[in-house]
Amino acid sequence: MTSTTDPRELTVGVGAGGLATADMVLNIGPQHPATHGVLRLRLVVDGERIITAEPIIGYMHRGAEKLFEVRDYRQITVLANRHDWLSAFSNELGVVLAVESMLGMEVPERAVWARMLLAELNRVLNHLMFLGSYPLELGAITPIFYAFREREELQTVMEEVSGGRMHYMFNRVGGLLHDLPAGWLGRVESTIEDVRGRLPDLESMLVGNEIVHARTRGVGVLSAETVAAYGVSGPIARASGLDVDLRRDTPYLAYDQVFSSGGPGRVVTRTQGDSLARLEVLLEQVHVSLDIAQHCVGVLGSLPQGPINVKLPKVVRVPEGETYYATENPLGFNGYYLVSRGDKTPWRLKLRSASFNNVSVLSETLPGNLISDMVAILGSMFFVVGDIDK
């Protein structure tokens, strides 16, 4: 039983022609179990086959960019870690890196490596969420419990260091909020070891399952050209064979050392571009991120004691000018375009979020597929609605 064979068509004849059919408009969302949030898809369907699909967004628009303009940079960090609520640490990291680059600020080395460690743990947390929720959309209810068991362990170490389980708010302009607790690195290391040891349980339920293969192989194929045309990034782009990763291509923090030859970092790619490839990329990235995190723990352990942040003036004013700072968030490129007029608030802070571009490609991929495939494709686009609507 494979899904790659051509669909058979059976025409039931009434008189000389087939049955008369009428197209139906089906609104998936804004309240629907598969959109995990308030995304809405307006589908025109013929039976179960989708003729046109139009993503309608904005139900969760909170005007984040406008709100940025009336807040100082620490307050912006609070706000910016919320649009993609599964990648809070990576979101706040982008803001402080942009501000630091405009201030020309040198961040202590311990802060650099600690940030990288936390960013990679955050990436694992994010990916585990989707590795649990995607099977749920395909009808498998067990993997999410396996994924959440690992998430709990990782959230415990994140909570110990930052106090937060979701919105960490641990970054500050110039470094981190405070130093790492005593003995924390050892606990991180054993947690990474545990998570890595139990991952095969989850993997065998996903890529080791025939029905998952039947539902995802060859479904929702994205060509590398389409990916490039729509600005799709992150794991979805890499599953289509587009070898881009900002951690390697425009290194920030100390990623140049991690992604150099001999380092633990590598860019995971596939060429098929279907839903299965996207799932595989996500799974493999979890392994890579755990490797990088482990490497960071090793480096942090060997660094001498020292400050973890830079002493800041009471009011941080970014000098006049503009910059664009993009980081590789778990879901793709996350960029901040910061324009400052020398005030304590930015004049404009434009947010380029990954999910917005990743979801816009849906109107291209969905037509021609069945409603069941729609769910399989939608789930494999790994989006966060807040990241779309901002």
Partner 1 sequence: MSLLEVVVRSVVVLAAFLVLPLLVGQTEHKVMAHMQGRLGPMYAGGFHGWAQLVADGVKFAQKEDVTPREADRWVFRLAPAVSLVAYLVALSVLPLTSGVVGADVGAGVLFVLAAMAVGILGPLMAGWASANKYSLLGGMRAAAQLLSYELPMVLAAASVALAAGTLSLSGIVEQWHPLWLVWQLPGAVVFLVAAVAELQRVPFDMPMADSEIVFGPLTEYTGLRFAFFLLAEYAGIVVMSLLFTVLFLGGWQGPFAAALGWLWTLVKASAVAFVVIWFRVAWPRLREDQLQRLAWLVLVPLGLAQLAITGVWVVLTT
Which residues sit at the interface with partner 1, rule CB under 8 A? 1, 3, 7, 24, 26, 32-34, 47-48, 135-142, 145-146, 149, 205, 209, 211-212, 214-215, 370-375
Please write down the HEC assignment for all residues of 47-90: CCEEEEEEEECCCCCCCHHHHHCCCCHHHHHHHHCCCCCCCHHH
In the bound state with partner 1, the residue whose beta carbon lies nearer, of 21 and 305, is: 21
Query: Shortest distance, CB of residue 38 to partner 1, whole angstroms?
Result: 15
Residues 335, 354: Cα–Cα separation, whole Å? 9
Nearest distance in Å: CB 372, partner 1: 4
Those residues with Cβ within 8 angstroms of residue 186's Cβ, 6 or more apart along the chain or in another chain: none
Instruction: Please state, in angstroms and rounded to a whole number, the distance separating the CA atoms of residues 86 and 53.
Output: 26
Q: Which is nearer to partner 1, 173 or 378 (CB)?
A: 378
Residue 352 and residue 363: Cα distance in Å, rounded?
20
285-315 b/e with 16+ CB inside 10 Å = b? bbebbbbbbbbbbebbeeeeeeebbbeeeee
Which tokens is 33 given? Answer: 């179990």
Minimal distance in Å, beta carbon 132 to partner 1?
A: 11
| Shortest CB 275 distance to partner 1, Å | 12
Nearer to partner 1, 13 or 313 (CB): 13
CB 286 within 8 A of CB 128: yes
Smallest distance, partner 1 to C-beta of residue 59, A: 18
Paired tokens of 213: 């293969």
* Least Cβ distance, residue 380 to partner 1 (angstroms): 13
DSSP string, 211-278: HHHHHHTTSS---HHHHHHHT--HHHHHHTT----HHHHS--TTHHHHSSTTSS------SS-SHHHH
- Alpha carbon distance 51, 227 (integer Å): 21
Q: Cβ of residue 370: shortest distance to partner 1, in angstroms? A: 7
Give the separation between CA 84 and CA 358, rounded to whole angstroms: 13
Q: Which of 378, 334, 371, 307 is nearest to 88 (CA)?
A: 334
Q: How far is residue 30's CA from residue 50's CA, in Å, rounded to a whole number?
A: 18
Which residue lies nearer to partner 1 by CB, 141 or 182? 141
CB of 106 to partner 1, least distance (A): 46
Q: How far is the CB of 156 from partner 1 (least distance, A)?
A: 16
Cα gap 242→381, rounded to integer Å = 15
Which residue number, 56 or 229, has a Cβ lying nearer to partner 1? Answer: 56
